[in-house]
């Protein structure tokens, strides 16, 4: 396989498996450099020894691309300050590679990785490495021989949008919050968590045709995001234990989901001890719901209805107080119980609606 083909396959694979890394890697410049042993990044450019990459598997090339992507995202070279450039590059590599390995990317041989640096910031790693070097003249000489460019990110908006998209879609790489403290600081309320959960079940493809036109003028083509069909089921408990205020909130959240997606097929089921109402909603449909019910609570009719009447179910959102009779067996599809208060459920996940 030619190296160019291997790079393209690695980029495509990275985009599918790790879209945050893949989107950033698509913006990188690639440069052959036989004066280096393996590969290195100055923040916007991935320099590589072609003999080294040719000997790598596609998975190992993926790792190299992700490494360069993170150097770009973190703008490490612009943060060198008074540090020794070559040693700072090494410290940032240790920090990045530790995170990539936690995300199950496959490192090639001879990368900069030591487990003792796991969970450390680059600044702390640098201090440790500096303390271990006794020959300061060697440090100074190495600094003179290094030609690391200090590059500020030229497209901070692009990087911020990718970060926010990864947060919104719950696709943040593991350990990324170590590099971006604002991720830890941002609190995701229950409603955001609900939409993130739903979003994971929306089919979306990254496609290069048509490309994202926004970055064409900068000399690279990023994939455009093609949204496909959101196909889920929403069940709403209309039993006597659900008061009018809570019922209205249930339906308001259902309507908000409809407004958040451009293309969907959502089956709405209202049920107390039996099915009271069912309708399939498509884009541009008006929400006109019926609130029959008021009896006891039995969740089994909803699951039986889905099994008998709905093809290939993937996700059920059940708005309820969980005070009812559950099915004896767990269904084959995902179930998220959206509850006003914490309750035990026999299967699925729960999400607690915070009081307004």
* 136 and 243, same domain (yes or no): no
pLDDT at 131: 87
- pLDDT of residue 144 exceeding 60, the answer is no
Pick the more confident residue, 287 or 131.
131
Tell me what the mean pLDDT of segment 103-126 comes to: 89
Top-confidence range, 88-92, 189-193, 263-267, 316-320: 316-320
pLDDT at 65: 93
CATH number, domain with residue 305: 3.40.50.410
10: three-class secondary structure by DSSP: helix
DSSP 8-state symbol, 188: P
233 and 122, same domain (yes or no): no
What is the arithmetic mean of pLDDT over 88-117? 91
> Does the structure show a pLDDT above 80 at 206?
no
Q: What is the DSSP letter of 56?
A: S
236 and 132, same structural domain?
no
Q: Which residue, of 96, 117, 145, is where some domain finishes?
A: 145
Instruction: Count CA within 13 A, CB hemisphere, residue 325.
Output: 10
Same domain, residue pair 12 and 138: yes
Confidence of residue 155 (pLDDT cuts 50, 70, 90): low
pLDDT band at 99 (very low <50, low <70, confident <90, very high): very high
Measured distance CA(317)–CA(302) in Å, rounded: 11
Q: Which helix (H) or strand (E) holds 62?
A: helix 58-74
Question: Does a structural domain hold residue 205?
Answer: no
Q: Which phi and psi (to 5°) does residue 49 adopt? A: -90, 120
pLDDT for res 287:
75
Q: Are 126 and 34 within one domain?
A: yes
User: Mean pLDDT highest for which of 123-127, 171-175, 307-311?
Assistant: 307-311
Q: Same domain for 233 and 133?
A: no
| Domains: count for the chain | 2
Statement to judge: residues 343 and 243 lie in one domain: yes
Q: Which of 138-152, 171-185, 205-219, 277-291 has the highest mean pLDDT?
A: 277-291
For residues 119 and 211, the model is more confident at 119
Q: Which of 121-135, 150-164, 293-307, 311-325 has the lowest mean pLDDT?
A: 150-164
d(CA 172, CA 170): 6
**Which pLDDT score, from 0 to 100, does residue 151 have?**
38
Domain boundary among 122, 145, 168: 145
How many Å apart are CA 238 and CA 242, to the nearest integer? Answer: 6
**284 inside domain:** yes
Q: Among the listed ranges 145-154, 308-317, 346-355, which one has the minimum average pLDDT value?
A: 145-154
Could you tell me if 126 and 260 lie in one domain?
no
pLDDT of residue 195: 73
237 and 139 part of one domain: no
Q: Which of 4-8, 56-60, 202-206 has the lowest mean pLDDT?
A: 202-206
Cis peptide before 168 (omega within 30 of 0): no
pTM: predicted TM-score of the whole model, two decimal places: 0.51
Q: For the chain, what is the mean pLDDT? A: 79
Category of 217 on φ-ψ map: left (φ > 0), alpha (ψ -120 to 50) or beta: alpha
Summarize pLDDT for 233-252 with one digit per residue, the tens: 999 999 998 888 888 888 88
The pLDDT assigned to 221 comes to 45
Torsion, CA 158, CA 15, CA 178, CA 348, rounded to 10: 120
Q: Tell me if 215 is assigned to some domain.
A: no
In a domain, 8, yes or no: yes
The domain boundary residue, chosen from 145, 160, 177: 145
Q: Are residues 128 and 230 in the same domain?
A: no
pLDDT (tens digit, 9 = 90+) per residue, 256-294? 788 777 788 899 999 999 999 899 998 878 877 666 667
- Rounded to whole angstroms, how far apart are CA atoms 183 and 203? 25
**Within a domain: residue 240?**
yes
260/255 Cα distance (integer angstroms): 9
Look at residue 22 and tell me whether its pLDDT is greater than 70: yes
pLDDT category of residue 205 using cuts at 50, 70 and 90: very low
CB 72 within 8 A of CB 27: yes
Q: How far apart are the first and last CA of the chain?
A: 58
User: Is there a domain that residue 167 lies in?
Assistant: no
Least confident range of 31-35, 83-87, 191-195, 260-264: 191-195
- Same-domain pairing of 231 and 333: yes
In a domain, 271, yes or no: yes
| Other CB atoms within 10 Å distance of the CB of residue 166 | 19
Q: Are strands 202-212 and 275-281 parallel, antiparallel or unpaired?
A: unpaired
The answer on pLDDT for 354 being more than 60 is yes
pLDDT score recorded for residue 207:
43
DSSP string, 16-31: HH-HHHHHHHTT-EEE
Does residue 13 form part of some domain? Answer: yes
Quote the longest CA-to-CA distance of the chain.
Answer: 83
Q: 6-36 in b/e burial notation, b at 16+ Cβ within 10 A?
A: bbeebbbbbbeebbbbbbbbbbbebeeeeee
Task: State pLDDT tens for residues 45-90.
Answer: 888 988 999 999 999 999 999 999 998 888 766 667 777 888 888 8
Query: CA-to-CA distance for 73 and 43, rounded, in angstroms?
Result: 8
User: What is the domain extent for residue 308?
Assistant: 226-352
Q: Does the structure show a pLDDT above 70 at 2?
A: yes
Do both 230 and 133 map to the same domain? no
Q: What is the pLDDT of residue 124?
A: 86
Q: What is the mean pLDDT of residues 114-142?
A: 74
According to the model, what pLDDT value does residue 250 have?
87
Nearest-10 Cα torsion for 12, 16, 19, 25: -10
């Amino acid at each position: 396989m030619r190296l160019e083909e291997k790079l393209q396959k690695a980029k495509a694979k990275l985009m599918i498996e790790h879209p945050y890394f893949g989107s950033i890697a698509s913006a990188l410049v690639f440069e052959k450099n036989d004066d280096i042993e393996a590969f290195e990044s100055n923040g916007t450019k991935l320099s590589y020894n072609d003999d080294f990459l040719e000997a790598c598997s596609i998975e190992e090339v993926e790792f190299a691309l992700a490494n360069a992507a993170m150097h770009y995202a973190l703008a490490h070279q612009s943060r060198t300050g008074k540090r020794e450039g070559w040693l700072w590059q090494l410290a940032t590599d240790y920090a990045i590679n530790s995170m990539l390995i936690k995300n199950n990317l496959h490192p090639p041989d001879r990368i900069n990785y030591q487990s003792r640096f796991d969970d450390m910031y680059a600044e702390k790693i640098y201090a440790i490495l500096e303390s271990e070097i006794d020959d300061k003249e060697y440090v100074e000489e190495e600094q003179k021989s290094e030609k690391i460019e200090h590059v500020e990110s030229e497209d901070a908006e692009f990087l911020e949008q990718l970060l926010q998209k990864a947060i919104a879609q719950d696709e943040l790489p593991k350990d990324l919050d170590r590099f971006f403290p604002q991720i830890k600081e941002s609190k995701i309320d229950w409603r955001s968590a609900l939409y993130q959960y739903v979003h994971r079940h929306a089919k979306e493809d990254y496609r290069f045709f048509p490309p994202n036109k926004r970055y064409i003028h900068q000399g690279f083509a990023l994939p455009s995001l093609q949204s496909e069909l959101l196909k889920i089921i929403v069940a709403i408990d209309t039993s006597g234990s659900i008061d009018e205020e809570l019922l209205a909130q249930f339906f308001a959240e259902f309507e908000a989901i409809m407004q958040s997606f451009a293309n969907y097929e959502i089956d709405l089921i209202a049920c107390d001890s039996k099915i009271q109402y069912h309708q399939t909603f498509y884009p541009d449909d008006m929400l006109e719901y019926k609130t029959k019910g008021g009896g006891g609570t039995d969740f089994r009719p909803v699951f039986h209805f889905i099994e008998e009447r709905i093809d290939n179910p993937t996700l059920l959102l059940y708005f309820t107080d969980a005070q009812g009779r559950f099915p004896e067996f767990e269904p084959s599809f995902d179930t998220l119980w959206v509850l006003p208060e914490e309750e035990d459920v026999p299967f699925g996940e729960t999400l607690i609606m915070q009081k307004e």
